C-alpha cells in the first residue's frame, strides 16, 4: 500500500515553491520511492489565484491563473496567455483527455470563453460553462441582449 505522506508533502512543496519563487516542484511515490521533479515556470510577479493540473498519458499539464496589477492571465504550461480584466473563479478547465483547456474571461463589460488560446465571441454574460463534450468541443451558455445562447466552441 502506498503512503500518501509523500504526495501530500509534494503538494505542499508545490504551493510553497510557486508562491515564493515562481518555480514548481512536486513529489511522487512510485514503488514506495519518493522522487522530486523541479520545472522552472518563470517568474510570477503577481498573485497566484488558481492552479489547475491535468494528468495525461503524455505527462502533467498546468494552468495557473495569476493577477498582475488590475489584470489577470493564464499561464498554460509556462506560456502566458492574453491579459483580461477578470478570469472566472474556478477556471480554467481541462478536457477529459487533458489536451484542451478553456476559461471564461471578462474584457471591459463583455464576457468571452477562451479555448486553447482562441477567444470566442463577446457576450453580455456567460451563464454556465465551459464544459468539454466527449469529442473535445467546449460548450457553454451565454447571454446577449436578453437572449440565451448554447455555444459550441471547437478548438
Reported as a pLDDT band with limits 50, 70 and 90, residue 43 is low
125-132, strands of its sheet edge to edge: 125-132, 138-144, 147-153
Alpha carbons within 13 A on the beta-carbon side of 102: 22
Backbone angle region of 142, left / alpha / beta, with phi > 0 → left and psi within -120 to 50 → alpha: beta
The CA–CA distances, whole Å, from 107 to 64, 69, 96, 120 equal: 19, 15, 27, 12
Q: Where are the alpha helices (DSSP H) in 1-155?
A: 5-21
Query: pLDDT tens across 49-70, in order?
Result: 888 888 877 778 889 999 989 9
Percent of the chain past pLDDT 90, that is, above it, reads: 43
Q: How far, rounded to the nearest angstrom, does the alpha carbon of residue 32 sit from its chain's CA centroid? A: 30
pLDDT tens digits for range 69-99: 999 999 988 888 999 999 998 899 999 888 8
pLDDT at 77: 85
pLDDT value of position 34: 55
Q: Is there a contact between 114 and 122 (Cβ–Cβ < 8 Å)?
A: no
Classified as helix, coil or strand, 137 is coil
- Prediction pTM value: 0.72
Say yes or no to pLDDT of 140 above 50: yes
Residue 131 has pLDDT above 50, yes or no: yes
CB contact at 8 A, 63 and 74? yes
Judge if the upstream peptide bond of residue 92 is cis by omega within 30 degrees of 0.
yes
User: Mean pLDDT, to the nearest integer, of 124-149?
Assistant: 91
SS3 content of the chain, % helix, strand, coil (to 5): 15, 55, 35
Distance, in Å, from the CA atom of 120 to the CA atom of 116, rounded to the nearest integer, reads: 10
Task: Say yes or no to pLDDT of 11 above 50.
Answer: no
Q: Domain segments of the chain: what residues?
A: 1-41, 44-153
Query: pLDDT averaged over the chain?
Result: 78
| pLDDT attached to residue 16 | 34
Amino acid at each position: 500500500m502506498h503512503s500518501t505522506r509523500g504526495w501530500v508533502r509534494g503538494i505542499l512543496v508545490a504551493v510553497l515553491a510557486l508562491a515564493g519563487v515562481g518555480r514548481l516542484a512536486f513529489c511522487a511515490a512510485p514503488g514506495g520511492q519518493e522522487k522530486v521533479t523541479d520545472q522552472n515556470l518563470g517568474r510570477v510577479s503577481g498573485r497566484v489565484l488558481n492552479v489547475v493540473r491535468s494528468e495525461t498519458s503524455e505527462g502533467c499539464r498546468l494552468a495557473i491563473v495569476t493577477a498582475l496589477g488590475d489584470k489577470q492571465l493564464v499561464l498554460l504550461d509556462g506560456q502566458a496567455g492574453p491579459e483580461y480584466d477578470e478570469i472566472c473563479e474556478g477556471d480554467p478547465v481541462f478536457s477529459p483527455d487533458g489536451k484542451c483547456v478553456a476559461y471564461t474571461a471578462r474584457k471591459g463589460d463583455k464576457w468571452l470563453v477562451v479555448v486553447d488560446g482562441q477567444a470566442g465571441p463577446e457576450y453580455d454574460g456567460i451563464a454556465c460553462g465551459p464544459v468539454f463534450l466527449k469529442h473535445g468541443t467546449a460548450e457553454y451558455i451565454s447571454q446577449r441582449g436578453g437572449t440565451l445562447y448554447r455555444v459550441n466552441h471547437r478548438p
